[in-house]
């Protein structure tokens, strides 16, 4: 439904060149909620704005719903954009218009239907987002969550196939965030909408996304289903989900400090006990976490091992043979997401 191929965006400002996107290949299937996670400056907003060509890429291809947007002339592009809704962190509502007036705006601009048909569509949309009784209210009298619902209703007015969400929950508290994410989920499930959202919060991805990609310095460093990425011991997403006990654990705890990943089948605790006995090592458990990911327990154990180096190496090999992945030392490195 959404595809970018070798997408590049360079900005030049004050004689300095910035590569905001450095060859991004993204593929979002129809009906999917897809999250792009990245630190500040990673290029997330640029990517989103390039998908509907609010920003023209320096090179590369953008396809949405089978149409190559990067090859369209201005009139066709305007028509194609009507099938792409967008919501923003700060809602971008017109304060001088009522809630109904805000939702009607895209229909007025595109000249869709009669006034009566537009009113009926607006009423239907407001009902759908749970604001049936707020049609005549002004945005200033609404909560943040209600404003975002108005913005979502407005984005849906022209029956888009794709919704782009630019940090739509970043200005909201935790409960409101959850309710807005639940609404996005409903849009995908009930209307078959494809949703591409950008966020800097792992929890948003975990809560609502089917698939995700991590963007760093304008490049996609990994992508896949959220369940697969979190279950993969070496993924950036998993490193975020299981924060390390210390940035430099060897210095903090002494001994050889290792991080071990395991999934449902392996019994992490029992294996660690066996490791200590079998190889006569002093094993300290620094931290242990298990999270349920896609219905399956996925865990991390952070261990400090003391003993002769050859016995430690043999012990780690034994763990690996028993379904516990010993992560490379740089798994401790802080991942900037």
Stretch that binds ligand ATP, among 39-47, 111-119, 178-186, 261-269 (CB under 6 A): 39-47
18 binds ligand ATP (CB under 6 A): yes
- Closest contact distance (angstroms) between CB of 172 and ligand ATP is 16
The residue within the footprint of ligand ATP, chosen from 20, 50, 238, 301 (CB under 6 A), is 20
Q: Cα dihedral sign for 34, 37, 9, 75?
A: positive
What's the closest the beta carbon of residue 48 comes to ligand ATP, in angstroms? Answer: 8
For ligand ATP, the binding residues in 174-213 under the rule CB under 6 A are 200
CB of 34 to ligand ATP, least distance (A): 16
Of the two residues 20 and 241, which places its CB atom closer to ligand ATP in the complex? 20
| Shortest Cβ 219–ligand ATP spacing (Å) | 12
Beta strands in the chain (DSSP E): 2-13, 16-28, 33-38, 59-64, 67-68, 84-88, 162-166, 194-199, 211-216, 219-225, 256-263, 282-293, 296-306, 325-326
Does residue number 219 form part of the binding site for ligand ATP (CB under 6 A)?
A: no
What does the chain come to in residues? 337
The Cα 40–Cα 31 span in angstroms is 28
Closest to ligand ATP by CB, 20 vs 266, is 20
4 interacts with ligand ATP by CB under 6 A = no
Token representation of residue 45: 């907003």
* Cβ at position 13, least distance to ligand ATP in Å: 4
With binding defined as CB under 6 A, does residue 38 bind ligand ATP?
yes
- Residue whose pair of structure tokens reads 């997330």 in the numeric block: 44
Minimum CB separation of residue 179 from ligand ATP in Å reads: 23
Query: For tokens 């006995």, what's the residue?
Result: 277
Q: Is 40 a binder of ligand ATP (CB under 6 A)?
A: yes
Which segment (42-50, 176-184, 220-228, 237-245) binds ligand ATP by CB under 6 A? Answer: 42-50
Residues 216 and 229: their CA atoms lie apart, in Å, by 16
CA dist., res. 168 & res. 89, Å (int): 4
Segment interacting with ligand ATP, rule: CB under 6 A, options 11-19, 120-128, 153-161, 301-309: 11-19
Rounded-to-integer distance, Cα 252 and Cα 182, Å: 41
Q: Which of 46, 70, 146, 169 binds ligand ATP (CB under 6 A)?
A: 46
C-beta separation of 205 from 165 below 8 A = no
22-50 burial: b if 16+ Cβ within 10 Å, else e: bebebebeeebbbbbbbeeebbbbbbbbb
Residue 145 lies near ligand ATP (rule: CB under 6 A): no
**Identity of the residue, 28 or 103, whose beta carbon is nearer to ligand ATP in the bound complex:** 28
Q: Tokens representing 119?
A: 């009113």
Q: Rule CB under 6 A: which residues touch ligand ATP?
A: 11, 13, 18, 20, 38, 40-46, 200
């Amino acid at each position: 439904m959404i595809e970018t191929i070798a997408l590049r965006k360079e900005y030049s400002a004050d004689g300095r060149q910035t590569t905001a996107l450095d060859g991004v290949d993204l593929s979002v299937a129809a009906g999917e909620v897809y999250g792009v996670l990245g630190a500040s400056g990673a290029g997330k907003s640029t990517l989103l704005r390039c998908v509907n060509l609010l920003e023209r890429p320096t090179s590369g291809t953008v396809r949405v719903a089978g149409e190559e947007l990067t090859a369209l002339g201005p009139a066709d592009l305007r028509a194609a954009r009507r099938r792409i809704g967008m919501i923003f962190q700060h809602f971008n509502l017109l304060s001088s218009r009522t809630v109904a007036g805000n939702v009607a705006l895209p229909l007025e601009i595109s000249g869709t239907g009669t006034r009566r048909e537009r009113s009926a569509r607006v009423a239907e949309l407001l009902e759908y987002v749970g604001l049936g009784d707020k049609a005549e209210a002004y945005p200033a009298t609404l909560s943040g969550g209600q404003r975002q619902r108005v913005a979502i209703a407005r984005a849906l007015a022209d029956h888009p196939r794709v919704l782009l969400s630019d940090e739509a929950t970043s200005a909201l508290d935790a409960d409101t965030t959850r309710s807005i994410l639940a609404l996005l989920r409903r849009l995908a499930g009930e209307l078959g909408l494809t949703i591409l959202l950008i966020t800097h919060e792992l929890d948003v991805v975990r809560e609502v996304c089917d698939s995700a990609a991590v963007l760093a310095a304008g490049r996609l460093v990994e992508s896949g289903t959220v369940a697969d990425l979190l279950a993969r011991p070496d993924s950036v997403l998993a490193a975020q989900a299981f924060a390390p006990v210390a940035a430099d654990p060897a210095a903090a705890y002494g001994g050889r400090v290792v991080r071990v990943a395991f999934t449902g089948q392996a019994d992490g605790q029992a294996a660690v006990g066996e490791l200590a006995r079998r190889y006569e090592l002093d094993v300290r458990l620094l931290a242990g976490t298990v999270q349920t990911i896609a219905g399956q327990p996925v865990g991390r154990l952070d261990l400090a091992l003391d003993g002769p180096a050859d016995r430690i190496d043999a012990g780690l090999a034994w763990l690996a043979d028993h379904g516990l992945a010993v992560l490379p030392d740089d798994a401790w490195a802080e991942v900037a997401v």
